[in-house]
């Protein structure tokens, strides 16, 4: 779990998000080691593609990860649509930092 925390802390450091939501965790082995995680980043950034690139190229981790990035306006707008992927993330995911 320390590897996951380190990964999420680094994603947070690089992206400076308003929200960081973890969803789609995959585990393996007897120790239930996390091998893959999906992370939703809600942040106010000018260039989402550049941020995505910084995250993928700048973070080294034993855990494979995928990110989806929304601006705060996109996030709020998409949450109003219960059929949107953002709504599913909000429903199923867990905000990083929650107990």
Question: Domain tally for the chain?
Answer: 1
Whether residue 1 has pLDDT greater than 70: no
Three-state SS string across the chain, please?
Answer: CHHHHHHHHHHHHHHCCCEEEEEEEEEECCCCEEEEEEEEEECCCCCHHHHHHHHHHHCCCCCEEEEEEECHHHHHHHHCCCCCHHHHHHHHCEECCCC
Q: Is pTM beyond 0.95 here?
A: no
CATH number of the domain encompassing residue 64 = 3.30.300
State residue 88's pLDDT score: 96
Please give the average per-residue pLDDT across 56-64, as a whole number: 95
**Has residue 99 got a pLDDT over 50?**
no
Structural domain including 55 reads 2-95
């Amino acid at each position: 779990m320390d590897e996951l925390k380190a990964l999420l802390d680094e994603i947070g450091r690089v992206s400076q998000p308003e929200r960081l939501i973890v969803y789609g965790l995959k585990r393996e082995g007897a120790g239930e080691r996390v091998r893959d995680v999906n992370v939703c980043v809600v942040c106010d950034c000018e260039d989402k593609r550049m941020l995505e690139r910084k995250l993928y190229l700048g973070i080294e981790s034993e855990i494979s990860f995928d990110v989806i990035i929304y601006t705060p306006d996109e996030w709020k707008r998409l949450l109003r649509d219960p059929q949107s992927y953002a709504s599913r993330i909000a429903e199923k995911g867990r905000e990083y930092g929650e107990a």
